Structure 1
Amino acid sequence: MTNKIYEGIDKQGGGAMTPTANIIRDAWVFGIIPEEQTCEGWTIQGIEDLYDKVTQAWHPYGHLVSRLPPELRERHERIYTAAIQKARAAGWDPELGDND
């Protein structure tokens, strides 16, 4: 069995508005990986390990942005605002359709 390899957040379709991309963005917020790290070439196991680290980082804040200290909250806002703008420019529509 071959391992699936992640294409990288910068190459993911649909403006990278997926759970995997959110894990990467949250890892940027908490400084677990540098913002330049796209995770291109990572295995599923590597992404799962990153997910575990991100979950641990969120735990003290109850997974709520409103509970983040100012520095992390500002970083979160900057990273996610840029991601939303990029995704919308790529045609992403946050509205759910009848089949979603």
Structure 2
Amino acid sequence: MRQQHKTYPGLDEDSYGGMTPTGNIVRDAQVFGLIPEDETCAGWSIAAIQELYDKVSDAWQPYGHLVSQLPEDLRARHKRIYDAALARAREQGWSPELYPD
């Protein structure tokens, strides 16, 4: 029952600037224009995040879930959004080595 009321803290408050699976969903939703680029999803319920995940998954489908298959405009937006996210995360102490798997 408690799980039902859990909410996402938002990209700004998520671990290491959102370098989490949920953060990736939010950024991908921004890339595909499913949400505005300034939407952090703070306070969203698990159900709302799941619904967003489903939309993101559908958006990736035509491209085989590969950045290299995105059309140039989406690839450029992906690079801009993810480069900014990586820079913020590194400023907060994130490193890819934190996740050896």
Equivalent residue for 2:82?
Answer: 80
In structure 2, what is the Cα distance between the partners aligned to 1:40 and 1:14?
Answer: 15
Any idea what the Cα deviations from partners look like across 1:15-57, whole Å, max 9, x if unmatched? 2100000000000000000011111110000000000000000
2:20 matches 1:8:
no
Equivalent residue for 2:31?
Answer: 29
Runs of 4+ in 1 over 6 A off after TM superposition: none
Flag the structure with more relative contact order, 1 or 2, with Cα contacts below 8 A and sequence separation at least 6.
Answer: 1
TM-score, normalised via structure 2 length: 0.92
RMSD: 1.3
Q: Structure 2: any 5+ residue segments left out of the alignment?
A: none
TM-score, normalised via structure 1 length: 0.93
- Secondary structure of the residue aligned to 1:95 is helix
1:1-100 correspondence to structure 2 within 5 Å = 1-2=1-2, 3-96=5-98
